[in-house]
Structure 1
Amino acid sequence: MEAHANVAAWREAVATLFDVDELAADEPGPFRADISSYAMGPVLIGLSRASGQRFRRTAETIARSGVDHIILQLYLRGGYDGIAGDRPIRVRAGDICLFDLAQTLETKATAFENVTLVVPRPMFGTHLLRVDDLHGLVLPGSSVIARLLAGHLTALFEFAPRMSLDECQSVVEGTVSLLAACLRNELERSDPDADHAVTAGPSLMRIRQYIEAGLARDDLSASSIAAHFGLSRASLYRLFAPVGGIADYIRSRRLHRAFFDLANSGARGPRISEVARRWQLGTDAHFARSFKAAYGITPRAAREAALLGMQRGTDTTNGATISRWMREIAPPRAD
């Protein structure tokens, strides 16, 4: 493939996930890249090789793509430096890194080869309270857990094309459970002062699921949650203190839902004010301020970016079909 065609094909292949530039900027030869991927039911696994480049995921990219997934990458060769949200990140060969596609990032990579696993957020949400804490997490290649997961990921890619649908379902469920257990351990190890029950306690997971199912209710509050579970408000506050408090947790989850309502609705979708009311986010002005504080763009800008992404998706020859596939295969949220 000619270099210019390779660049165009690569941009389209990764457009759902990242904006890319500075392609092969510091390398003597032309840009080269290739990718092989397999859909395993609700997850996607792929092997990518490419020249050095800069990857960015801005709030506009997030809205344009409209996908809400977690990415796990095993770097077989090369690496990158950058920032994930507000967390500096450095990855080298052998390391495993994670990104939350609902959050921003910018990295500068050398020529690389990696295995990538793309998992819908709800699949991790049944195991971990704060899935967004995974953003920018790096498992050093020298660690036992990274070596264990590296072996699993490479085997998964090798055998993916040979699996039946039933085998894929069983393997994916086992893989997500294994990853969640290992990542929960890593989150606890990296924050020894945190209350480990926040990530591991089954009672807390039930509370989280109850909150997630009731985000649209106007009576969802610390008092109603405490009463439902037979807890004192003080006990509930202690449970959620390590993740910013119960009120902040509910507000952040409502904003997250509102963001992806805007990102996944076309020109005939609900008005911005209707989205604010649906998720109990106050007046239009209050919603706009909270939304911009959380995502760095206004609700209107998010809607406009989403419409741009959908217009690109009408061309079935481009990589935006990946975005539609990722939206369609994501397990439904509880409403």
Structure 2
Amino acid sequence: MARALLLTLLLLAAVAAPAVPASAQAPGWRHSYADPTPDGRFTDIVTTGPKDGWAAGVAGDALLLARYDGTRWVRQAAPAGYVPGGPHPRLAASGSSNVWLISSQVFRFDGTSWHRVGALPRLDEVLDAETRGPSDLWIADGDDTLARWNGAAWSSVKLPANARALARSGQRLWAAGYRTSGPGVGKDMEAQPAAMLLKGTTWTLTPTPTYRFPIPAPEAEALLHHVAGTWAVGEHTFNHGEVSPEPTDTAILLRWTGARWSKVKIPAREKYCCPRIAPAGPGRVLYATSGYGLKQSWFVRPGAAPVTLAPLPALAGAPAKQFASIEAMAAGGWAAGQLSANGGWRRAVIVRATG
């Protein structure tokens, strides 16, 4: 009788025990949401706090929209009046009552419902967007201008370099991309990284490192693809197949020190393309590349040993040989994109890095 009572108490204690906080779990990737729509892909994700986030993407021409409620991701209906097609959806947010959805149209979520702002101005493409409030939205399309909504009208704002990415750090706005003039640009180097800070109403270039291959490479360039808070990531590459021996492409990871952007060592050269980053606490960044199991992923902090993340486990019920392609990342360890597998199986997914 005593033994049976003891076993019962132990089982009750196990059931009632609180879940281990994410911060106390071993560092690694976990599945959070897989949309059932075939051939879907999330193209952006934002968070406004630990209990609120949005992800947007497409399945064919249809919009995929999901919201995080602090516990799980829930599929949402498209805003009224949303027209399918156009650029892949992008998101921007400065709070739970200021969330923007940008495609061929622009919508703003005020905390209760979505409202259409207006047609998007003519852009080559929509690469990134950022906001500081209901009357302050910026959109980058890869050239040396930004589209800006001031609450009443759109305008075109000139930049000192080309911008591919935007980020907000507090109330500061950053634009990152590349420049084709200035230090380090020459016969064997067509572009160098550029990071611009909005000071008042003027975008100003800030100091960034320069890059050059030891072996001259044709059409070489170094550029930044994404910026997150005070971190930026990009690549140093060239037009392959025209020289022998060829140098090796390298990824770029930079951190703003308050006076300049400085290089941060990456633990290893990624096997797959397109590194992405997201803030992961004071002085730390989550760095990841697409691949099988997202195996090339680390928490990186200057001056400290990188923390390797355990791979993403296979998604139950999906075919084998699962390749995770990350399209975007957000604070909180979130990453969104597409999971593909044998037989042409593809689904939009959201995963999370914890630890």
TM-score normalised to structure 1 length: 0.30
More helix by share: 1
More strand by share: 2
Q: Which has the higher contact order (CA 8 A, sep 6+)?
A: 1
